[in-house]
Amino acid sequence: MQSFIKKYSIFLMLYIVFQPILDAVTGVMAQAHINVTFGVLIRMAVMAVTIFYILIFIILNRDNKHGFQIIGYFILLGIVSVISLFINYKSKRLFIPSLEITTLAKSIYYPIMLLGYFYAFEELAEDRIINRLFPKVIFIAINIISAIMIVAHFTGSSFSSYSYYKLGESGWFYAANELSAIVSIAFPIMIWYALKKISNWSRIYYWLTIILAIYSALLIGTKGSLLAILFGICMAILAAIVQFFQYKGRRKFTVGIIALLVVTLGGVFAAYPAMAVSRTAELHNDMIKYKKKQAKSKKGITKDQRKYVETNKTVSYLLSGRTVYFENASHNFVKATPAQKIFGMGYATSFKSEKKAKLVEMDYIDIFFQFGFIGTIIYLAPLIYCLFYLLGAFLMKFKYMWSFKWAMLVASVALGFGMALMTGHVIEAPSVSIYFVSILGYAMLNARIFIRTKENPYTIDAED
């Protein structure tokens, strides 16, 4: 069994590299209107094996107290989920079993894989195999995404991010928002790995992969990816400035890194007017003006359109109409039964037909409506624990948090939590959550070692 633990830990690490392939195949199948996608089946199978892996790891670890806590949590989450399904089966005006069960399966992907990756990192850290695998696997995965995006762009085979605008590109990937979230969360890790590699200026070619990742992200045309790129680069600049004052012996090299980062940031601003994300901002303003003009005509506008145009212009642009979906879902939640309020309303609250089932697409909001008051606390407990643990580690070790490794880990985790609110499709989307939980699990292991040993775990780092 110990051999299985070791091999599966390595598999989980290498599994990240294959995510873009799964997503590209899923995108092509979705375009071909094939309902059961290859990616979903593979991910559910891996999740099932990961459950077995966790149980074996707990048994072999022989930490009974910790093991009982973990098993107890998943039993509790399972009970709450079953209760929610039963209540909604009895209460919802339209209950579609396949839709509700699939949504629930995707939801529980994050806590299972988060624990699985934490254990995998713990296992691989013992013999430093982790040095050769993380963050290299993240770096390779995003490079594959960049390659697919660029090939699709120059062959004219890319899918549109916004079909109604015919703007933005998502390569051969089906969901632009999920693709944007993946690139956003992983981008700081790419910066960390590239800067680690170009500690020798002869390896400056590694920075070309960062330029390609930025170009690919801007092709998508979403606000989230643009903001994430700006945030990641600015965080790296801040870390470099701190290092300039902390390490006097490397000042010349650090100045070179700062210059490289500033030039890259300037390039993003210079490229912005020509990118799809700039045009979508203009079209958003044009649409608001058109709807307001239409509202005064005899034809008028719908109730939802009126809510949209009456929302603060900046808020409506940043959240892309999610406030309207929130109001509708909130209205349904207010009318829900007491049991539904406690245990949730399942997928998309209440709807008359599957076509009218709309998520808010803000993860924390959707989770609350899906799981209710009690269910949300239980469901988000691992994330809340990780957030407070990492925040505590950051404040306790603030002085040491400005290496590129720590600064970029902080940036990546912060983007994961932030993108879950702003764009959604992070926590409950397996194709995105795999990146988020692996980075979160890696950050947790490093923080745990740092706090317990009072030594920076430099050996768990990007290896040449």
Measure the CA–CA gap between 394 and 398, rounded to whole angstroms. Answer: 5
Predicted local confidence at residue 364, as pLDDT: 94
* Per-residue pLDDT reduced to its tens digit, 153-205: 899 888 887 665 556 788 888 888 899 999 999 999 999 999 988 877 788 99
For residue 302, tell me if it sits in a domain.
no
Locate 248 and state its tokens: 């006097």
For residue 343, tell me if it sits in a domain.
no
Q: Using pLDDT thresholds of 50, 70 and 90, give the confidence band for residue 50.
A: very high
Counting every residue, how long is the chain? Answer: 464
Locate 67 and state its tokens: 């093991």
Locate 44 and state its tokens: 């559910």
| Over residues 54-72, mean pLDDT | 86
Number of Cβ within 10 Å of residue 369's Cβ equals: 25
Q: Using pLDDT thresholds of 50, 70 and 90, give the confidence band for residue 423.
A: confident
For residue 240, tell me if it sits in a domain.
yes
Q: Which domain holds residue 186?
A: 2-278+374-453
Torsion angle of the four alpha carbons 109, 111, 117, 119, in this order, in degrees rounded to the nearest 10? -140
pLDDT at 314 over 80: no
Number of Cβ within 10 Å of residue 365's Cβ equals: 19
**pTM tops 0.75, yes or no:** yes
| Over residues 139-160, mean pLDDT | 91
| Over residues 425-443, mean pLDDT | 94
* Per-residue pLDDT reduced to its tens digit, 325-344: 788 888 888 899 999 999 99
DSSP track, 302-348: -HHHHHHHHS-HHHHHHHTTHHHHHHHHHHHHHTS-HHHHHH---TT
| Crossing angle of the two packed helices 363-396 and 97-107, in degrees rounded to 10 | 10
For residue 215, tell me if it sits in a domain.
yes
- The H or E element containing residue 169 is strand 167-169
For residue 391, tell me if it sits in a domain.
yes
* Per-residue pLDDT reduced to its tens digit, 66-81: 888 999 999 999 999 9
| Strands 160-162 and 167-169, bridge-based pairing | antiparallel
Between residues 63 and 312, the one the model is more confident about: 63
pLDDT at 301 over 80: no
For residue 326, tell me if it sits in a domain.
no
Q: Where are the beta strands (DSSP E) in 185-331?
A: none
Q: Using pLDDT thresholds of 50, 70 and 90, give the confidence band for residue 232.
A: very high
Q: Where are the beta strands (DSSP E) in 392-448?
A: none
Number of structural domains (the chain) is: 1
| Over residues 122-139, mean pLDDT | 84
Q: What is the mean pLDDT of the chain?
A: 86
Measure the CA–CA gap between 222 and 167, rounded to whole angstroms. Answer: 10
Residues near 303 by Cβ (< 8 Å), separated by ≥ 6?
A: none
Q: Using pLDDT thresholds of 50, 70 and 90, give the confidence band for residue 285.
A: low
For residue 179, tell me if it sits in a domain.
yes
For residue 354, tell me if it sits in a domain.
no
Predicted local confidence at residue 281, as pLDDT: 62
